[in-house]
Amino acid sequence: MISDQEKKALEDIVGERWVSADPCTLDAYSFYMNPEALNKEGGRFTPRPAAVVLPATTREVQEIVRFCNRTDLMVKPFSTGFCAMGSPSRDRVITLDLKRMNRIIEIDVRNQIAVVEPYVRAIDLQTRLFKHGLNCHVVSAGGHHSVLASATSAWGTGVNGPTMGYSGRNLLGVEWVLPTGEVLTLGSAGNGAGWFTADGPGPSLRGILRGYQGAFGGLGVFTKCALKLYRWDGPAEFEVEGCSPSYSLKEVPPRMALNAIAFPSSQAMRDAGYKLGEADIEYAQFRTPMFFVALGMSRNNRTLKQILESGVVQRIGRFVVNNAVIGYSDREFKWKMRVLRQILAETGGVMLPVVAGLSTVNIMGPIRRLMKRVRALLPVKV
């Protein structure tokens, strides 16, 4: 709980509309659908925040942090949120919801840099970038995560890691409101030289800022960051059918393939992984069972029931990986697919028919042929 005087002081900073101590609102911010949301007690609720405050500018964030330093209140920043780590861990903590700070400040197409505020989601940035032939790293939390949070404060791995690496390594600069309320801008931007590196002059502070796993909002508030962008050789828009939230991809665009690959052992899968990394032909790689990839492209979702009841996923999904291959030209795409097949031949891998050539395969028909192929080539009973 906070006093009326404390609430009034916060309202003077951001406006009455953007401060709430209503019990219903506070409960909403402390509730998680997943009972194992990294909550130390394993329950659905984390400690209720003392108040929720929504600043709109770096200046307002500074004033809130300084106000908390004059009292016994603490502040915990929150953007799109991730489990219990985005919530208070004790009483008398203000949840700083950065939802109003949602601007894409700059997209530097030539130098492949984007500067964003905390509530810019991956899907917001990615949609803009596709039109410029660029893409950004998206972590496995999905398109609705904060790209600033994954780069500055949390885990940073995603399916497009083979192309774009790890989120923390894509950080090119950050505007950081320290726990004292002071603002520190890291790297080249701090010297007014543009957002092209988060390091120097002198020692880098990136390790202190986030380390490997990130501090999850425990070292102040990051109000802007610059991100490294990458070339996108796919289309600016995808052709889909259906309606929100259930869309199906009509067909895989030219010079793109989604492949499900089964291996006879974990060692063979590791060997192939090293070879694929050295060849640098994958755009993305992930471990989702291959039939769910196929299902996402199938026009008949009744397939799901058949797949689950067959037990196929449980039996051969252990040593299955999926990858995406994208080519800048027809020639490059064909070369990458040849390299992929050569690596599979060397490691005993089998490409399952999720995608054939340049278009999707409806798996209702080929399911029986697929099972025969798996029986013949893998040492498992299916």
Predicted confidence (pLDDT) per residue in 227-283, tens digit: 999 999 888 787 877 777 667 777 778 898 888 888 888 899 999 999 999 999 999
DSSP string, 50-100: SEEE---SHHHHHHHHHHHHTSS-EEEEESS--GGGGS-SSSSEEEEE-TT
CA quadruple 374, 377, 379, 381: dihedral positive or negative? positive
Q: Is the CB of residue 284 less than 8 Å from the CB of residue 232?
A: no
Pick the CATH number of 104-231 from 3.90.550.10, 3.30.465.10, 3.40.470.10, 3.90.1010.10: 3.30.465.10
Radius of gyration of the chain from its Cα atoms, rounded to whole angstroms: 24
Looking at residue 316, what is its pLDDT? Answer: 52
Name the residue among 357, 358, 338, 356 with its Cα closest to residue 370: 356
Looking at residue 362, what is its pLDDT? Answer: 40
Q: Is the CB of residue 109 less than 8 Å from the CB of residue 132?
A: yes
Looking at residue 314, what is its pLDDT? Answer: 52
- CA dist list (Å): 374 to 307, 317, 377: 15, 11, 5
Lowest mean pLDDT among 15-24, 86-95, 326-335: 86-95
Averaged pLDDT score across all residues of the chain: 81
Q: Residue 310: how many CB atoms within 10 A of its CB?
A: 14
- CA dist list (Å): 303 to 243, 343, 376: 19, 31, 23
- Locate the domains of the chain by residue range: 4-97, 104-231, 252-377
Return the SS3 of 322. Answer: strand
Q: Tell whether domain 252-377 is in CATH 3.30.70.
A: yes
DSSP run (H or E) holding 344: helix 330-347
Looking at residue 36, what is its pLDDT? Answer: 52
Looking at residue 294, what is its pLDDT? Answer: 46
Read off φ and ψ for residue 329, nearest 5 degrees.
Answer: -140, 170
Looking at residue 227, what is its pLDDT? Answer: 96
pLDDT digits (tens, 9 = 90+) for 132-191: 999 999 988 778 889 999 999 887 788 888 889 888 889 999 999 999 999 999 889 988
Give the class (CATH, top level) of 4-97.
Answer: alpha beta
* The pLDDT of residue 215 is above 60: yes
